[in-house]
């Protein structure tokens, strides 16, 4: 997904540069990419682990009854 986002940014910037004639070029810093990946991992772990741990604490009968 990260590679797809980078390609989309390149294509979008190229299209905007072609359409407007402005000298705009994409800039990617390592710290920005690391922050984005870290935020995505954190959100995925929190919002994936919390419901799973809550469901694991239920008895199978309660889990089926709530579904």
pLDDT of 43 reads: 94
Cα dist. 25→1, 5, 21, 66 in Å? 21, 15, 12, 52
Phi-psi sector, 20: left (phi>0), alpha (psi -120 to 50), beta: alpha
Average pLDDT over residues 27-53: 87
Spell out a b/e string for 6-40, using b for 16 or more CB atoms within 10 Å of the CB, else e.
Answer: eeeeeeeeeeeeeeeeeeeeeeeeeeeeeeeeeee
- How high is the mean pLDDT of the chain? 84
Assign 66 a pLDDT band (cuts: 50, 70, 90): low
């Amino acid at each position: 997904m990260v590679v797809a986002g980078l390609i989309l940014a390149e294509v979008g910037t190229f299209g905007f540069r072609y359409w407007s004639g402005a000298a705009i070029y994409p800039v990617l810093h390592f710290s920005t990419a690391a922050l984005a990946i870290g935020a995505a991992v954190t959100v995925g772990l929190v919002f994936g682990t919390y419901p799973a741990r809550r469901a694991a604490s239920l008895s199978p009968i309660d889990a089926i009854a709530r579904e």
